[in-house]
Each structure stands twice: as C-alpha cells, then as structure tokens.
Amino acid sequence: MLAEIRGLNEECGIFGIWGHANAAQLSYYGLHALQHRGQEGAGIVSTDKNYLKALKGEGMVSEVFTPEKIEAIAGTGAIAHVRYATAGGSGIENVQPLLFNSTTGSLAISHNGNLVNATELKSHLERQGSIFQTTSDTEVLAHLIKRSGYATFEEQAKNALSFLKGAFACVILKEEAMYVALDPNGLRPLSLGKLGDAWVVASETCAFDIIGAEFVRSVEPGEFLVITDDGLRAERFAYPQERSICTMEYVYFSRPDSDIDGINVHAARKRLGKQLAKEIHIDADVVTGVPDSSISAAIGFSEESGIPYELGLIKNRYVGRTFIQPSQDLREQGVKMKLSPVRQVVKGKRVIMVDDSIVRGTTSRRIVNLLKDAGATEVHVVISSPPIKSPCFYGIDISTSGELIAANNSVEEMREIIGADSLTFLSVDGMVQNIGRTDPGPKCGHCLACFTGEYPTNIFPDTVLPHEKEKVK
C-alpha cells in the first residue's frame, strides 16, 4: 500500500555479489529490484581485491547512481543497500554500506533489520573508548569486530555477531572475501543465488530475476557464509533458534514476484484473500484492492467469494516523494495524488475494499472517503492480516503502541473511525495456515509479535561483553 503516507515502512534491502567482472553494475540492478524496501538512500561498495570503493547518496537508486559513477567503482565483488531510516536518523553518514578503513584492511557492511541491544552495546563500547560516527545500529558490528581480539577476520566476525540480538541480515565485504550472516531467529529474509560462477545474495529473490541469477537456497538462521575466489564455505556463528520470519514480509513488504523460503509472495497473498472470503460473508457488487500490495489478496477474495474483481483504485506512479509533507492538508492531498478511484467502477456499487493492514487508520479513512466521494453506496473494508496491536522492534517502523489504531480501539470503534460500512480482519490462525510455511510449532516459523505481542527474542536483553563482565566481578 502507500507506505510513505500510512506510517508502515519497509526496513531496508541488501544485496551482494562475488566473482563477477561487472559486480558494481549488477549491484545497481539488484538495488533497483529492491527499491520498494527503502527510498531514503542507496549505496554500493565494491572491491578490486586491493581497495574497497564506495558510492552512495541520499534518495532513490536512480538519483544516486550514474553509469560513469558506477564505472568508477568497477570491481569483481560488491555489496549494496537501499535504506529506510528505521534505526538512527537520516543523513548521508547513515546511508549504507558503511565503510571502515584501518591499517589492517578495510571493511564494509550492509545490514537489514534492527538490533534490540544496540544501545547497550554502544554504551559498553563507548566505555571501552569507541567513538561512533553514525547513529546506525550497523556501526556497532564493526566496532565489535575490531575489538574482538581474535586472530582471523572470520573468528572476529563470528564472535562479534554472537553479541547481536534482534533482527539482522548482513553482508560484509573485505578486499578478498564476502561474508553473509543471518540472525539466529531468521527474522529477515535472505536468499543465496548463483549467476554463472558468481555468488549472489539478496533480501529478495526479485533481485536475482533482474540480473538473471538462479536461486540456490535461503540463508539459514545463525549461518555465516564465507565466499572467496575458492568458493563458498557455510559455517555458523550461533545455534538456530525457533524460526521467526517477519510475517509482514509475506503480507505487505516483499514484492509479489519474490519467493520467501520457496513460497511465492503473490500466491501467499491470494490464499490470504481466499481465507478472508471463507471467514466472512458480505453482500457486495465488486471487490477492489488497494494498489499495489493488496491486489493479490483482492483477487483471491474475489475468486473465493464469486464477487467480481474490479480495478476500483489506481495508483499514480509518477508522483515524487517530495510532496509528502507533515501537514494534515498536504497529507490529505498526498492520498489524492497517489490514488484515484475509478468512478465508473465504484459509482452506485457496494464495494469490498481489500487492504493488507491498518496501522494508524488515517489512510484507510481517506481511501474510504475517496470511494464514497466517487459514488460507492457502501464500502466494506477487509484486511488480509490481523489487527496490528504491538510495536515492532525488528526494523519495521511501528515503534509505539500509541500510534496503532488497533492497540487502542475495538474493531467496531475502528470501523467508525475509518467511516466504513463494515470492517473485518483475517484471524491469526487463518493467516499462518494459509501463507504455507511448514516449520514445526504452532507459529509455523513466523514472527507474529505485532499481532500477538509475543516477541521471539528478549526485547531488552542485559547484554554484557566478556571484558565488561570481568570489570563487574
């Protein structure tokens, strides 16, 4: 849906490639495919085996890079990042990959996710003499690596990763190798692919498709991959914990053409729509979806209910981001510029409007108003996920319960606030069973924390580094 004006934002996308003469250029295409995961900044760091070279800037991928600039960072290995500022502020210093130079070689990191113990780790590191240049969680990892005291980089990195708590999918670049790591709960998606002899890693498989790479497998929770010119070696930095992939990746964040752990996102969303139609019965004339992320669920709802699917709302793809201003008037105008009702489709009709989620409720209210202003006689809102009642600590910017309409209102109160004729949410069980994962346990490998309040990790762990423990004694 309309991330920028709804308040539910993607959390970043990462990409890495090793062993290809056009690594920087292919990273650029990979970032294009991941653009929906972050529009505030983009960067590529490449290696020619001697030096790491960085190119990054604020804005969209197409604004940051030019062919000449990419040519200047040509290399055979590269990591890349698109950013939405969930942890830390905006500003060029926080745009990733973060690059660190030292007398023992350079190091670059791309990170997707949010650490729940970043503040504790930062405090400990600052007491040890670290000075941070950014407000990003990611810099913590670089300091932990440099301070670990182990002899080899691999040992240093594995030791550093073992202190991180929360969600992290990381790709790390050195002059002579690329390293990949995923948190022990596997909260964020991370896929491994091949392009000829080159290894590729990306937040979503749609980044493989755009460069012609083949999916090999998902990166496993707690895994640490070492990729060099000698090939790939799979190691671990931690034992895997209960798998807890972010459910919102299936419901909303990921592109419909991506597969997560072998499940196509479009197909999963269609099943959610079908399940919704099984759970409720509404007399209506047309079903429509809020573009883009709710279209698949709307098609599924239509197929199951037998109510025809129509294009009742269209998205204006050529609206820039700059108009999105904090003032209420401009926000209202923003919805009108981004979405238009198709009057001929909705006029005089009882409309079922399928959406993937409701965060604050303000955007839903505006879309219901758009449809009613266009002549819809009834607007029934059906949501292809359960009510979001709890904040996310893993990289999605739902940070306080206060901003969540479902945390503070009953479904009937929400219906009244958004001005709909009815409001229905999908059940938690209906969602989990229809996404299609088969992991053991009642959650089938999902994080459901924003729906249920049950977090897969400790949220505020008392992390103490080994050298700090000695001091405490």
Q: How far apart are CA 140 and CA 249, in angstroms?
A: 25
Return the residue of 26, 125, 246, 272 that touches ligand SF4, per CB under 6 A.
Answer: 246
Q: What are phi and psi of 147, to 5 degrees?
A: -100, 0
Whats the size of the chain, residue-wise? 473
| Amino acid in the structure at residue 44 | I
| Cβ closest to ligand SF4, residue 8 vs residue 42 | 8
The stretch near ligand SF4 (CB under 6 A) out of 50-58, 245-253, 279-287, 423-431 is 245-253
| Cβ closest to ligand SF4, residue 150 vs residue 460 | 460
| Cβ closest to ligand SF4, residue 34 vs residue 370 | 34
Establish if 141 lies at the interface with ligand SF4 (CB under 6 A): no
| Cβ closest to ligand SF4, residue 418 vs residue 450 | 450
Q: How far apart are CA 123 and CA 145, in angstroms?
A: 16
Establish if 359 lies at the interface with ligand SF4 (CB under 6 A): no
**10 close to 2: Cβ distance less than 8 angstroms:** no
Establish if 432 lies at the interface with ligand SF4 (CB under 6 A): no
What is the DSSP secondary structure assignment for residue 212, as one 8-state letter? T
The verdict on whether 12 is a catalytic residue reads yes
CA 294 to chain CA centroid, Å, is: 16
Task: Give me the residues paired with residue 41 across strands.
Answer: 58, 83
| Cβ closest to ligand SF4, residue 36 vs residue 124 | 36
Establish if 293 lies at the interface with ligand SF4 (CB under 6 A): no
Judged by CB under 6 A, the number of residues near ligand SF4 is 10
Q: What are phi and psi of 33, to 5 degrees?
A: -65, -25
**271 close to 300: Cβ distance less than 8 angstroms:** yes
Q: Is 399 annotated to bind ligand?
A: no
Instruction: Give the footprint of ligand SF4 on residues 181-220 (CB under 6 A).
Output: 187
**119 close to 78: Cβ distance less than 8 angstroms:** no
Establish if 392 lies at the interface with ligand SF4 (CB under 6 A): yes
Q: How far apart are CA 318 and CA 397, in angstroms?
A: 25
Angle subtended at Cα 352 by Cα 5 and Cα 308, rounded to the nearest 5 degrees: 125
Q: Is 392 annotated to bind ligand?
A: yes
Q: How far is the CB of 456 from ligand SF4 (least distance, A)?
A: 8
- Residue 85 CB partners (closer than 8 Å, separation 6+): 40, 41, 94
Q: Is 356 annotated to bind ligand?
A: yes
Q: How far is the CB of 369 from ligand SF4 (least distance, A)?
A: 27
> Residue positions in the annotated binding site for [4Fe-4S] cluster?
246, 392, 447, 450
The residues that touch ligand SF4, with contacts defined as CB under 6 A, are 187, 246-248, 392, 394, 396, 447, 449-450
Active-site residue set: 12
